[in-house]
Amino acid sequence: MKQENHEFDAIVIGSGVSGGWAAKELTEKGLKTLVVERGRPIEHGTDYITENTDVWDLNYMNEVPKDEADKHWPIQQKCYAFKDNTKHFFTKDSEHTYIQEKPFDWIKAFQLGGKSLLWHRQSYRFNEMDFEANKKDGHGVDWPVRYSDLAPWYDYVEKFAGISGSKEGLAVLPDSVFQKPIDLNAAEKFMKKNIEDHYDNRYLIIGRTAHLTEPTEEQMELGRAPCQSRNQCQRGCSFGAYFSSLSATLPAAERTGNLTIMTHSVVHSIVYDEKSGKASGVRIIDANTKETKTITARVIFTCASTLASTQILLNSKSNRYPTGIGNSSGVLGHYLMDHLSSIRAGGRIDGFEDSFYFGRRPTGIYIPRYRNVDGDKQNYLRGFGFQGGAERSGWKGQIDKVGVGADYKKSIQKPGGWYYGMTGFAEMLPYYENHMRLSETETDDYGIPLIVTSCEIGENERKMIKDMATSAREMLAVAGVKDIYVEERHYTPGIAIHEVGTACMGHDPRTSYLNGYNQSHDVPNLFVTDGSAFASESCVNPSLTFMAFTARAVDYAVKQMQQGNL
Amino acid sequence: MKKSAVENAQNTALTRRQVLKNISLMVGGAIATPLANSFLSGAVGADIPAGTAGKALSAAQADFIAQIADIIIPPTETAGGRVAGVVGFMDRYLSDYESAATAKKILQDITSLMKAADKALKGGFMQASLEAQTQWLTEYDKAAYGKNWDSRADYRTIKHVIVVGYYSSEIGATEELDYQPVPGPYQGEIEVTEDTRNYAI
């Protein structure tokens, strides 16, 4: 497929969940593909330098020294996964900044593999309702696809990635191609029975997660092994037991012989060729030497993550597109969304003293959306799900009490009572006003304008948060939980780390950036397949859907190339 | 299927190296992993010898912490707080982890606690018998979770760091608790027996 006038058949910007999939699909279809990664290389296995650090060799409770965290990672430290032995996978805020016109917690991992190293691996399909939502209630831009378009691609990516979960047959949470589910424990089974006996359309199931429980031949050939229940995934996993670019897609791409990776390479902009009306390549700045070069390709896949991709697109200015490549609609940057994760609830579960568990389970439970489905009607639109789990109080939960001496010591040795906790994830409506744009005055070390974020929740979200709190309290009582607490913590968009939107798909080139194949309406060889493409966000974790859209878009792009259309 | 803690404890006899080897054979290739993480091995130093100062603790403070650590978590079938290295842990916590302002306050609180102890025991705390020291600390601790709750937050913090230090230590994690570095497939329901212990991590 290589033509003389292009250095590569395809360039993929970014190497996270989306970029890794683009690289795998493009190279497996025979395209000479360049992956451009702005951060450092990381070698699967050997660079997981803290993977096997024993607990007594960690800093205090594995926390980052406070002064150091405040200086270098004031925002990243808000992430639940930010610890002393994972901090090297989080981008330093002190070295990379953006402007929060309204507060936005942007969690960043600029390195080979990106956030696919750090994600929580929760994997759920969007449902039919999710794709119809914008059309039905008029918020945002109608998705140019429906669930039936994505379903075969969910199948496809799930078989490769490896998703563990239980078949439930729920329309609100379509089943994936599953490897066997991970166990619920006794307290969770108790809650499940109580909830499912009482309510018509509520379920408590094991969380669906990108962990191997029954690796396929293909997965084992890539060197991947079953999950060992260490629940320390963010340190990196030499077993390759959870899906990441480093454990799965990049090794698959490497094996084709068609893959080239450039790291420490910051994409400044995509080059637009006025004559052909196509993107001709990317301008790259070497992160160390600051030298620039342009590399050409027949097709460009932008997979740098939601905010980073749109930053590049906005910065790709030309006479034809003074506000960013392909931005004839003016909609680039708009409809920024994140899940609302402000409601936490939980309490105590009595009994089950004779039951314990073995291993540190890498997934929790999931309560799928029950609001505004199956005839339920609320005073707000869309809905939410809950993620959580039950555990017995371990040593940490039993030390802050009266007592010194042998009896005190002995009491800490035994598992304590059961506790349950959960967090809600709610869908934010696509609001045009929620956006990102480029600063007109501030640039980074590479001369690239800083991102300005401007995102806040609206009335619909406020009503939903209220209902989440009331509903959680009622449901936990039904579930058999005692001493129930419900707390609403301060929420800043971005902290759910499910940010999507800003380069939305839609039918109409006047009101959307991409068509139904993640292809720019204006620039036919430009594809954007990460979260920036989403027209709405559902209430489920988005990464599985990044995978499905990416694989589907590559399939389309390559067919177009084979037909001579690109 | 329920396995007992004893059956699962047998799994711990498999070293990390053996587990990796077994899995590598299954997947038909070596799994590259840095078994010995040198990254942080310099971060955790040796414990503080008796009578010497640490980076944050004075010699007197270090000795006091060692003594009360051994009362709070005494030697039983497993070693106590002193041998487990609680003093070194406390010192690193104060010098490396905490903010300067908080560390300073906690050091002052340790000194205040030492003064209270010296006042209560004739001849001073460190000169008193172990029985007398234990009796004083037991009563002081009881009030700290009872009638003197508000005024003894500092003590509860000191105790917290000591006890966390114990269970984060190699002795605490591997001998007193159940240390499972590579558990294997998760089992949601196992029987609790006499031998069941809390997991270290």
Output the pLDDT for position B48. Answer: 83
Cβ count within 10 A of residue A129: 17
Point out the least confidently predicted range of A17-26, A50-59, A72-81.
A50-59
* Chain A residues in contact with B34 (beta carbon < 8 A): 45-46, 48-49, 51-52
* Cβ–Cβ gap B37/A51 under 8 Å: yes
User: A265-273 and A259-262: which strand pairing?
Assistant: unpaired
| ∠ Cα A335 A337 A343 (to 5°) | 150
Output the pLDDT for position B32. Answer: 60
pTM higher than 0.90 for the full model? yes
DSSP β-bridge partners for residue B134: none
Residue A429, phi-psi category: left (phi > 0), alpha (psi -120 to 50), beta (remainder): beta
Output the pLDDT for position A1. Answer: 44
Burial environment of residue A44 by CB neighbours within 10 A (0 to 12, 13 to 18, 19 or more): buried
How is residue A171 written in tokens?
Answer: 């329309």
* Cβ–Cβ gap A51/B134 under 8 Å: no
**Average pLDDT over every residue of A314-324:** 98
Interchain contact B42–A (C-beta under 8 A): no
The amino acid at A119: W
Rounded CA separation A28/A253 (Å)? 7
Residues 400-429 of A with CB under 8 A from B: 400-406, 408-410, 412-415
Residues 36-55 of A with CB under 8 A from B: 43-46, 48-55
Rounded CA separation A174/A276 (Å)? 42
For A186, A188, A344, A356, A471, the CA distances from A350, given in Å and listed in that order, are 11, 12, 20, 14, 22
Rounded CA separation A542/A17 (Å)? 10
Q: Position of tokens 């027209």?
A: A535
DSSP β-bridge partners for residue A387: A366, A423
Report the SS3 class of residue A211: strand
The amino acid at A466: K
- Average model confidence (pLDDT) for chain A? 97
The amino acid at A534: F
* Cβ–Cβ gap A66/B3 under 8 Å: no
DSSP β-bridge partners for residue B199: B178
Query: Measured between CB atoms, which of A51, A224, A406 is closest to B27?
Result: A224
CB A76 within 8 A of CB B58: no
Our CA-based measurement puts residue A217 at a distance from the nearest CA of chain B, in whole angstroms, of 9
Interchain contact B13–A (C-beta under 8 A): no
* Chain B residues in contact with A396 (beta carbon < 8 A): 164, 167
User: pLDDT-based confidence at A61, cuts 50/70/90?
Assistant: confident
Classify residue A333 by its DSSP letter.
T
What whole-number percentage of chain A has pLDDT above 90? 97
Output the pLDDT for position B43. Answer: 41
List the single best residue of A42, A46, A50, A56 to mutate versus B (max B Cβ within 10 A): A56
CB A513 within 8 A of CB A329: yes
For A197, A224, A418, B185, the CA distances from A485, given in Å and listed in that order, are 23, 41, 15, 32
Rounded CA separation A417/A300 (Å)? 55
Residues 213-272 of A with CB under 8 A from B: 213, 215, 220-221, 223-230, 238-240
Burial environment of residue A72 by CB neighbours within 10 A (0 to 12, 13 to 18, 19 or more): middle
Smallest CA-to-CA distance from A9 within A340, A254, A260 is with A260
Residues 6+ apart with CB under 8 A from B106: B94, B98, B154, B157, B158, B161
Residues 125-184 of B with CB under 8 A from A: 134, 137-138, 141-142, 144-146, 156, 160, 163-164, 167-170, 173, 176-177, 180-184
- pLDDT over 90 (residue A362): yes
Rounded CA separation A268/A293 (Å)? 10
Task: Return per-residue pLDDT of chain B as tens, 201 residues.
Answer: 444 544 544 444 456 666 667 666 666 665 666 554 444 443 445 578 888 999 999 999 999 999 999 999 999 999 999 999 999 999 999 998 888 999 999 999 999 999 999 999 999 999 999 999 999 999 999 999 999 999 999 999 999 999 999 999 999 999 999 999 999 999 999 999 999 999 999
Helices (H), A295-381: 306-315
- The residue of chain A nearest to residue B193, with distances taken between CA atoms, is A354
* Cβ–Cβ gap A361/B173 under 8 Å: no
Rounded CA separation A385/A423 (Å)? 8
Residues 6+ apart with CB under 8 A from A259: A23, A27, A33, A35, A250, A253
User: pLDDT-based confidence at A59, cuts 50/70/90?
Assistant: confident
Rounded CA separation A95/A446 (Å)? 12
Point out the least confidently predicted range of A174-178, A299-303, B3-7.
B3-7
- The residue of chain A nearest to residue B16, with distances taken between CA atoms, is A52
Q: Position of tokens 């070698």?
A: A43
What whole-number percentage of chain A has pLDDT above 70? 99
- pLDDT over 60 (residue A505): yes
* Chain B residues in contact with A356 (beta carbon < 8 A): 5, 189-192, 196
Our CA-based measurement puts residue B125 at a distance from the nearest CA of chain A, in whole angstroms, of 17
* Cβ–Cβ gap A395/B177 under 8 Å: yes
The tens digit of pLDDT for each residue in A236-260 reads 999 999 999 999 999 999 999 999 9
- pLDDT over 90 (residue A2): no
* Chain A residues in contact with B117 (beta carbon < 8 A): none
How is residue A243 written in tokens?
Answer: 């899906």
Output the pLDDT for position B6. Answer: 45
Smallest CA-to-CA distance from A1 within A193, A319, A258 is with A258
The tens digit of pLDDT for each residue in A377-436 reads 999 999 999 999 999 999 999 999 999 999 999 999 999 999 999 999 999 999 999 999
**Average pLDDT over every residue of A299-319:** 98
Report the SS3 class of residue A500: strand
For A505, B47, B166, the CA distances from B72, given in Å and listed in that order, are 62, 18, 10
- The residue of chain B nearest to residue A409, with distances taken between CA atoms, is B73
Burial environment of residue A168 by CB neighbours within 10 A (0 to 12, 13 to 18, 19 or more): middle
Measured in Å, how far apart are chain B's first and last C-alpha atoms?
23
CB A329 within 8 A of CB A515: no
Output the pLDDT for position B42. Answer: 39
> Which H/E stretch holds residue B20?
helix B16-27
Our CA-based measurement puts residue A189 at a distance from the nearest CA of chain B, in whole angstroms, of 10
Query: Measured between CB atoms, which of B35, B43, B137 is closest to A59?
Result: B43
Determine the distance from the C-alpha atom of residue A97 to the mean position of all C-alpha atoms in its chain, rounded to a whole number. Answer: 21
Burial environment of residue A174 by CB neighbours within 10 A (0 to 12, 13 to 18, 19 or more): middle
Residues 453-512 of A with CB under 8 A from B: none
Rounded CA separation A16/A14 (Å)? 6
Our CA-based measurement puts residue B21 at a distance from the nearest CA of chain A, in whole angstroms, of 11
